[in-house]
Amino acid sequence: MRRLGPLPWILAATVWAGSAPPVSAQGFAATTDVVVVEVPVQVVRDGEPVRGLSAADFEAYDGRKRVEITGFEVLDLYAPGQKKARLPLAARRHFLLLFDLAFSDARSVVHAREAARDLVLQGLHPQDLAAVATYSASRGPQLVLGFTADRRQIDAALDTLGIVPDPDTPPDPLRLVVAQHEEVRPGDDRSAVASRRTSEAAQETEALHNEAIFAELGSLGKLGERTNTASQRNAVTAFTRSFADLGKLMGSVLGRKYVVLLSEGFDSSLVAGSTDQKERDELAQDALEGNTWEVSSEQVFGDTRSLNQIEGMLESFRRADCTIQAVDIGGLRAAGAGAADTPGRAGGKDSLFQMARGTGGDLIENANDLSGAMDRMLKRTGVTYVLSFQPEKLKRDGAWRKLRVELKGAPRGTRVVHRPGYFAPKPYAEMTSLEKLLETAGQITSGEERGSIDAAVLAAPFRVAGETAYVPVLIEVDGPGLLAGTEGPTLPAEIYVYALDEAGAIHDFLAQSFGLETAKAGPALQQSGLKFFGHLDLGPGSYSIRALVRNGLTGAYSLRVVPVEVPAWGEGRPVLLPPFVPEPPGRW
């Protein structure tokens, strides 16, 4: 796995023959002027998903106007054959495993990783995507690993929480890879995780990771232990603002989203007033006796400003179609030495309950069996209907638009769950760096060929020493399409190539960003286009090579997907490779 250095092989057009057709032969429709809104819908009755519905059973409204449903897909995670079917990104569940380092004890966080790992390996469906992130007062939310189906990468991210980087793995700009593993057969990532964790070397490494995490969390300090009420309230305010931004960010992710918040929560009395009945009675008595100087209105009624901020935060998650599944990890300290020395904090569970209830989620108190505790929710959301429509005269201003979906002739007690609205697209230049990262990573993960720039990709395995194959990747990009809309002296180009198996595990990647001076390279790009050359190292198996080329200024892109079969060289079977025909010298 590598991030390439300065311009390895970027050529102004070399032609090749083989399985990938030339640019002019590829009939890819432009997508930049057509906006398709995808609405994941879940229909539940008596706590069970309703199956067997069709597009004719639904009505969709964009604001007050009924719209035509132009696309319809069904995802039933528990239907036969669903394991290997390629699904649209909007139909897949996305789980963000978010560790609260600010209001949680270090022992709780360390043990919570095992609960999260159990959820990923035992509870989630293979089609589900998971990401790992942390929150601390000094750094805010930090994305450790983006949404992926690669259980090995999720396991590695849970090991370190981004605190202990892998020195052998170059940084992945899309954060889909955090650690380099020994090569395993494609599709065998779950068993690889299980076997890796039982080895003696893995246990020694885990102990080192735990020690580093304890040290890091100790330096950050636990905000819940601060005795100054003002500083604690400021910490809650910072938490609320950061999570409001996180909610907005989740709105840019396609599909149904769940934030699994692993935390001990903050003291709810800081914002909602005292929840202790005895204390409230004493405050009331002081007021009756005229001792008003001893009675704080915030102790009785809470801090109105903070309450409004929390409600705004919850609204950002609701608009993003994102549910918070709050996990109280305070009880996990009982499993560690010295747990008795750390008293629990009043009101932490109440704040977690408020965040879960405010977004339609649940408070989970049995963190030791997270997959079991979430089993009912996982089964309830196992069937998703994806409705698509094309809004008319949609302004690209990022504005919020309300949505409504109705089920025709719905039996009594039937509940239709869908996103309450959507954000209109906004210009690429106005997106945040993290929004761009998640969008690009999602395009790679989806594996759906699309984009407004024509491109062609060729990849083939070549035998080298050992079982690992040398797989050159050649990408030819239409120059005028890449240049379109570019203003200024430099065209910032981005190229990402990932090799995934059928289970979604990433076996190698390369990434390159570079600038092209339009005055010098522009004429050649207009005439001959762009050629990029790189390579991957892959073991025997079947792979999906996904290559994405993007204009970093306009956001225009091309995603192309080609299959590659790497043979087991030791079996001695003949391998037929596509021909590579170089362009004559002087043409690039």
User: What is the mean predicted confidence (pLDDT) over 521-532?
Assistant: 92
Q: Between residues 82 and 116, which one has the greater pLDDT?
A: 116
**160 has which bridge partners?**
none
Q: What is the pLDDT of residue 27?
A: 31
Answer positive or negative: Cα dihedral of 131, 135, 139, 140: positive
Q: In the predicted model, is pLDDT for residue 247 greater than 80?
A: yes
CATH value at residue 103:
3.40.50.410
Last residue of a domain, one of 355, 379, 403: 379
Q: pLDDT class for 258, splitting at 50, 70, 90?
A: very high
Beta pairing, strands 256-263 & 322-328: parallel
- Other CB atoms within a 10 A radius of the CB of residue 584 amount to 8
* Residue-wise pLDDT tens digits, 379-395: 999 999 999 999 988 89
Question: Which of helix, strand or coil describes residue 60?
Answer: strand
* Residue-wise pLDDT tens digits, 91-125: 999 999 999 999 998 889 999 999 999 999 999 99
Q: pLDDT class for 211, splitting at 50, 70, 90?
A: confident
Residues 265 and 331 reside in one and the same domain: yes
Residues 470 and 496 reside in one and the same domain: yes
Q: What is the pLDDT of residue 316?
A: 96
- Domain membership flag for residue 314: yes
Instruction: Give the helix ranges, DSSP H, for 360-478.
Output: 370-373, 375-380, 433-446
- Domain membership flag for residue 443: no
Q: pLDDT class for 43, splitting at 50, 70, 90?
A: very high
Residues 253 and 238 reside in one and the same domain: yes
Residues 116 and 22 reside in one and the same domain: no
CA distance 430 to 436: 10
- Domain membership flag for residue 236: yes
User: What is the mean predicted confidence (pLDDT) over 304-332?
Assistant: 91
Q: pLDDT class for 17, splitting at 50, 70, 90?
A: very low
520 burial level (CB within 10 Å; 0-12, 13-18, 19+): exposed
Residues 481 and 398 reside in one and the same domain: no
Residue with tokens 């409204």: 61
- As given in the structure block, the two tokens for residue 14 are 């070399």
Residues 51 and 63 reside in one and the same domain: yes
Residues 366 and 401 reside in one and the same domain: no
- Domain membership flag for residue 233: yes
How far is residue 139 from each of residues 101, 115, 264, 272, 314, measured CA to CA in Å?
Answer: 10, 24, 19, 26, 21
Say which range, 78-87, 306-315, 488-497, has the weakest mean pLDDT.
78-87
Q: Between residues 570 and 300, which one has the greater pLDDT?
A: 570
Q: What is the pLDDT of residue 270?
A: 76
Rounded to 10°, the helix 433-446/229-250 angle is 40
* Residue-wise pLDDT tens digits, 141-159: 999 999 999 999 999 999 9
Residues 243 and 370 reside in one and the same domain: yes
Residues 241 and 182 reside in one and the same domain: yes
Residues 172 and 255 reside in one and the same domain: yes
Q: Determine contact, residues 439/252, Cβ cutoff 8 Å.
A: yes
Q: What is the pLDDT of residue 298?
A: 52
Last residue of a domain, one of 351, 379, 407: 379
Percent of the chain with pLDDT over 90: 59
- Domain membership flag for residue 160: yes
Q: pLDDT class for 14, splitting at 50, 70, 90?
A: very low
Last residue of a domain, one of 326, 351, 379: 379
Q: In the predicted model, is pLDDT for residue 510 greater than 60?
A: yes
Residue with tokens 């021909």: 579
Q: Determine contact, residues 534/9, Cβ cutoff 8 Å.
A: yes
Domain total in the chain = 3
* Residue-wise pLDDT tens digits, 326-346: 999 987 765 544 444 444 455
Q: What is the pLDDT of residue 575?
A: 74
Residues 74 and 190 reside in one and the same domain: no
User: What is the mean predicted confidence (pLDDT) over 517-533?
Assistant: 92
If you average pLDDT over each of 198-207, 335-344, 355-364, which comes out highest? 355-364
Q: What is the pLDDT of residue 189?
A: 57
- Domain membership flag for residue 429: no
Q: Spell out the long-range contacts of 575-581 with Cβ–Cβ below 8 A and sequence spacing 24 or more.
A: 575/461, 575/463, 577/460, 577/461, 577/462, 578/16, 578/17, 578/18, 578/19, 578/458, 578/460, 579/16, 579/17, 579/18, 580/16, 580/17, 580/18, 580/458, 580/460, 580/474, 581/15, 581/16, 581/17
Give me the amino acid identity at 134. T
Q: pLDDT class for 197, splitting at 50, 70, 90?
A: low
- As given in the structure block, the two tokens for residue 558 are 């091309």
* Residue-wise pLDDT tens digits, 414-452: 999 999 999 999 999 999 999 999 999 999 999 999 999
CATH value at residue 517:
2.60.40.10
CA distance 151 to 535: 24
Q: What is the pLDDT of residue 509?
A: 96
User: What is the mean predicted confidence (pLDDT) over 554-561?
Assistant: 97
Q: In the predicted model, is pLDDT for residue 396 greater than 70?
A: yes
Percent of the chain with pLDDT over 70: 76
What average pLDDT is seen over the chain?
83
Q: What is the pLDDT of residue 385?
A: 96
What is the domain range of residue 403?
37-87+381-423
Residues 374 and 387 reside in one and the same domain: no
Q: What is the pLDDT of residue 310?
A: 93
DSSP symbols for 265-332: ---THHHH----HHHHHHHHHHHHTT-GGG--HHHHH--HHHHHHHHHHHHHHHHTTEEEEEEE-GGG
User: What is the mean predicted confidence (pLDDT) over 459-471?
Assistant: 90
- Domain membership flag for residue 170: yes
Q: In the predicted model, is pLDDT for residue 12 greater than 60?
A: no
- Domain membership flag for residue 291: no
